[in-house]
Amino acid sequence: MVPSLGAALSVLSPVRAVWLTLTAAFLLALLLQLVPPGLLPSCAIFQDLIRYGKTKSRPAICRSFDVPKRYFSHFYIISVLWNGFLLWCLTQSLFLGSPFPNWLHTLLRNLGAAQSPEGELVLSAFLVLAFLWLHSLRRLFECLYVSVFSNASIHVMQYCFGLVYYVIIGLTVLSQVPMDGRNVYVVGKNLLMQTRWFHILGTMMFFWSSAHQYKCHVILGNLRKNKAGVVIHCNHRIPFGDWFEYVSSPNYLAELMIYISLAVTFGFHNVTWWLVVTYVFFSQALWAFLSHKFYKSKFASYPKHRKAFLPFLF
């Protein structure tokens, strides 16, 4: 039977609509990059909006909208504070029975949070929010102490998007928590009784992917340091080691794996989170593709077997 438009719209909550729109936008951007150059007219503003860092090369007029790429740390400061606050609200509600603040409850309802005691296990959402917070904390640490930034830039629109992104992602997770009014609904008396095999698998995948992402960021940072750890230049070099032996942007691949590990922690069935994963897939694939093209055009000796994003495939 063909589902009615009403039924389709009822599953398309505002939060799902946001992730679906972002997925579609990045899929389109990726497809446009795959079209051989010359078939489509090149648009400088479009290229400026989808590229950042080492893959950016554009007319001087676009440079007035530049923000230093080292401001990536601002995204993670926002995320640590905001998602830390959401985690604190959830913890208070779970362990002390404190209801969510009125404004947060209204916001979550407007985003499409389910007002029903059924559905997602609250332990899944709690773990995912905690992992998201840990991820942001590690990324902040990397931005401040591991990565060596050059004078590369991002567009001011990309900067604003990055700030809003980490606010929305936390709200997306919290909107999956089963609610009973302003209170979190817990099936059974004890949160730990909700533990399932996919929580353990998701946790292992999360730490494994995070460890590889960290390693890749250390490798990139070391390319600009001498043996004593002193920064000696800000050029782009060919990275080697760990997942760099397979792909040009293993840190983007690890990002995708981290988001997949959160889908596993949700028990594989959370459609909203899979939409987030598809957005991450297409956005990271786009940037990995541009980065791969940059390496191949800059280094004649670039390893031939290395793929852009997915080992042996793409």
Ligand X SMILES: NC(=O)c1ccc[n+]([C@@H]2O[C@H](COP(=O)([O-])OP(=O)(O)OC[C@H]3O[C@@H](n4cnc5c(N)ncnc54)[C@H](OP(=O)(O)O)[C@@H]3O)[C@@H](O)[C@H]2O)c1
Task: Quote the least distance from Cβ 292 to ligand X, whole Å.
Answer: 11
- 69 near ligand X (CB under 6 A): yes
- 147 near ligand X (CB under 6 A): yes
Residue from 223, 293, 302, 306 touching ligand X (CB under 6 A): that is 223
**Which residue lies nearer to ligand X by CB, 94 or 223?**
223
Task: Quote the least distance from Cβ 268 to ligand X, whole Å.
Answer: 21
Is residue 199 within 8 Å of residue 265, measured between CB atoms?
Answer: yes
Q: With CB under 6 A as the contact rule, which of the stretches 24-32, 35-43, 184-192, 247-255 interacts with ligand X? A: 247-255
- E strand residue ranges, the chain: 66-68, 153-155, 179-180, 183-184
User: Alpha carbon of 125 to those of 36, 77, 150: distances in Å?
Assistant: 43, 22, 37
What x-and-dash track marks residues 18-57 binding ligand X by CB under 6 A?
-----------------------------------xx---
Task: Quote the least distance from Cβ 267 to ligand X, whole Å.
Answer: 22
- 135 near ligand X (CB under 6 A): no
- 158 near ligand X (CB under 6 A): no
**Tokens 């951007």 belong to residue:** 29
**Which residue lies nearer to ligand X by CB, 174 or 280?**
280
Please compute, for residue 236, the number of CA atoms within 13 A of its CA located in the half-sphere on the CB side.
15
Task: Quote the least distance from Cβ 27 to ligand X, whole Å.
Answer: 14
Angle formed by the axes of helices 14-34 and 102-111, nearest 10°: 50
Is residue 142 within 8 Å of residue 217, measured between CB atoms?
Answer: yes
Say how far apart CA 300 and CA 278 lie, in whole Å: 33
- 153 near ligand X (CB under 6 A): no
Write the CB contacts of 311 (distance below 8 Å, at least 6 apart in sequence).
243, 246, 247, 253
What x-and-dash track marks residues 270-289 binding ligand X by CB under 6 A?
----------x--xx-----
- 255 near ligand X (CB under 6 A): yes
- 71 near ligand X (CB under 6 A): no
Judged by DSSP in three states, 247 sits in: strand
